[in-house]
Amino acid sequence: MMRLSPVGSLLLPLTLLLQPTLSEYTTSNSTTPHDNSQNCSCYVIESGANSNTPEYFQYYRFFDFRNFADKAGQFTKTPPAVNDSASAGLKPVWDKDQLTTDAWNVDWGIQNWSKPATSDFPTPMANSPANVYILQNEDSNDPFTFLTLRTNRLDDSQTAAEIENEQKNVMHCSMRMLARVKGSKGAVAGFFTFFDDTNESDIEILTDDPTHKIRYTNQPAVDKKGNEVQSASVAPDNLAPWDEWQTHRIDWLDKNSYWFLNDKQVAANTYSVPRKPSGVVINMWSDGGEWSGNMSVGDSAEFQIQWIELAFNTSGPVGGPGGGNKKREALDLEGGTQLDTVEPMMGRDMNEWKRKSKGCEVVCKIDGVKQIGTPEVVSVNKSAATDISVSWGLLLFVGIVSTLVGM
Ligand SMILES: *[C@@H]1O[C@H](CO)[C@@H](O)[C@H](O)[C@H]1NC(C)=O
Ligand SMILES: *[C@@H]1O[C@H](CO)[C@@H](O)[C@H](O)[C@H]1NC(C)=O
Ligand SMILES: *[C@@H]1O[C@H](CO)[C@@H](O)[C@H](O)[C@H]1NC(C)=O
Ligand SMILES: *[C@@H]1O[C@H](CO)[C@@H](O)[C@H](O)[C@H]1NC(C)=O
Ligand SMILES: *[C@@H]1O[C@H](CO)[C@@H](O)[C@H](O)[C@H]1NC(C)=O
Ligand SMILES: *[C@@H]1O[C@H](CO)[C@@H](O)[C@H](O)[C@H]1NC(C)=O
Ligand SMILES: *[C@@H]1O[C@H](CO)[C@@H](O)[C@H](O)[C@H]1NC(C)=O
Ligand SMILES: *[C@@H]1O[C@H](CO)[C@@H](O)[C@H](O)[C@H]1NC(C)=O
């Protein structure tokens, strides 16, 4: 269903809609297309336990949050803490020029659901758009920006942050982010695929943990009787520290999940590998439960992300199984709504699907490239290339015929 947005994005000229440049985040880089990869028809990665098995994906996205500023000193102030959980969900985002644009909305939904306290999770939690903002590297010689998700503890509640990708039909992927986590104990930074509580693959950084430990989990991590499932979670504790910038990665494949840190495979699992088309979710939260722990009143923690890279296949409609957006909060949590104002994916290059459906003519790699986020051609399938010229010829022929018969 199309909903009219206040900015009237539906009235954008068709030519603009057909240009991938609409998905650009920054004016300074507006000539670079969003996916940096128009010539690629599929993307190859090396995966598996020995990182030597090629896996192919049909689609690619690179979300670059580094170029929001054109000079130092633009995003240096952390916005004031959200200080009232009752109104947290209604507090607007601070950086409207960056995080409410069509280019942002076409890919990301900033969440505002909340959940009450329960005996297992004693701190009520409210997601606030005001906990999603841009910050900037303090070194004025390298003033790149990054997306920040914050959680903070009030007297009797916790405010949190969550964003969801609007592509909710991801079926197997390699998802990566360059990120770090800063701040107080008692918070969880999550980067995960989600369909429901039993089809979910996670990277979770717990600020209660040592900085060399990360939790890699396929849900459900708790069985129907409430007991922990030992095989669900792998938690190596000899990793590069998560409070410094590291590249985190999940490879969600058909029968295997692999987790990487800085291109090195650090965890694997065959337990409950998700089997449903899913979305990609990023959050920063705490609820006083066993998993997150308690944050001290007045404290906060931040999940900071420079970029997110996603190579993926799809199954079914963009909105996910069942046609509509399957809402996370509707499935496992109470209350809340999504703040989307723009029909998901409407700004996408409409020709992408047609182009990609032709199979893998031009294989591109995404790792070991000159510039991360810009895939590079590794091989061209000549026989498929012939197929293209044949179909172009056919198209031209049909075009001429229709013109001749006056269709
Ligand atoms: C544009 O993006 C590229 C790659 O992300 C970056 O190296 C370059 O500095 C950016 N240019 C500006 C003006 O921000
Ligand atoms: C795509 O291919 C064309 C023709 O070979 C080339 O001119 C162009 O630079 C390529 N674009 C990218 C983004 O690689
Ligand atoms: C992605 O889809 C393509 C085309 O169907 C298929 O060849 C490839 O094996 C799939 N990749 C994964 C990792 O499932
Ligand atoms: C709560 O935060 C707002 C800014 O977001 C500020 O104007 C207000 O004074 C704060 N209230 C308290 C009680 O700290
Ligand atoms: C979420 O935002 C919508 C739109 O502004 C609002 O109607 C709704 O009440 C908010 N939900 C919460 C839990 O604050
Ligand atoms: C995924 O969801 C389906 C349907 O809800 C469920 O039967 C299945 O157990 C879930 N998990 C996996 C790993 O398939
Ligand atoms: C968090 O604090 C609450 C209230 O003091 C307590 O009931 C709960 O057990 C604590 N949670 C953890 C994980 O220690
Ligand atoms: C190359 O293209 C042909 C024709 O489209 C196709 O049948 C074949 O599977 C492709 N090979 C690879 C390696 O993608």
Q: For residue range 221-236, what is the model confidence (pLDDT) as tens digits? A: 999 998 999 999 999 9
Closest atom of ligand 4 to 91 CA is: 5
Distance 40 CA to ligand 8 centre (A): 14
Mutate to test the pocket of ligand 2, among 29, 38, 39 (most ligand atoms within 8 A of CB): 39
With a cut of 70, list the residues of the chain below it in pLDDT: 1-36, 322-359, 384-407
Residue 1 has a pLDDT of: 30
* pTM metric for this prediction: 0.82
| Residue 316 to residue 322: CA distance in whole angstroms | 9
Residue 275 has a pLDDT of: 98
Residue 8 has a pLDDT of: 28
Tell me the pairing of strands 132-136 and 125-127. unpaired
pLDDT digits (tens, 9 = 90+) for 328-359: 443 333 333 333 333 344 444 434 444 445 56
Amino acid at 198: T
DSSP 319-347: T-TTSS---HHHHHS-S--B---S-TTTT
Q: Which of 222, 176, 183, 226 is nearest to 203 (CA)?
A: 176
Residue 384 has a pLDDT of: 61
Q: 257: helix, coil or strand?
A: strand
| Ligand 6 atom 7: residue of nearest CA | 198
| Ligand 4 atom 7: residue of nearest CA | 80
Residue 358 has a pLDDT of: 54
Task: Name all residues whose Cβ lies below 6 A of ligand 4.
Answer: 80, 83
Task: Please report which ligand is nearest the Cα atom of 59.
Answer: 3
Q: 97: helix, coil or strand?
A: helix
Residue 320 has a pLDDT of: 86
56 in ligand 3 pocket by Cβ < 6 Å?
yes
Taken in order of first residue, the domains within the chain and their CATH numbers are 14-49+316-406 (no CATH), 64-314 (2.60.120.200)
Distance 295 CA to ligand 7 centre (A): 9
Task: Please report which ligand is nearest the Cα atom of 35.
Answer: 2
Residue 402 has a pLDDT of: 44
Residue 39 has a pLDDT of: 83
- Let me know: does 303 contact 132? Beta carbons within 8 Å: no
Give, rounded to a whole angstrom, the gap between the first and last alpha carbons of the chain.
31
96 in ligand 6 pocket by Cβ < 6 Å?
no
Mutate to test the pocket of ligand 7, among 290, 294, 295, 297 (most ligand atoms within 8 A of CB): 294
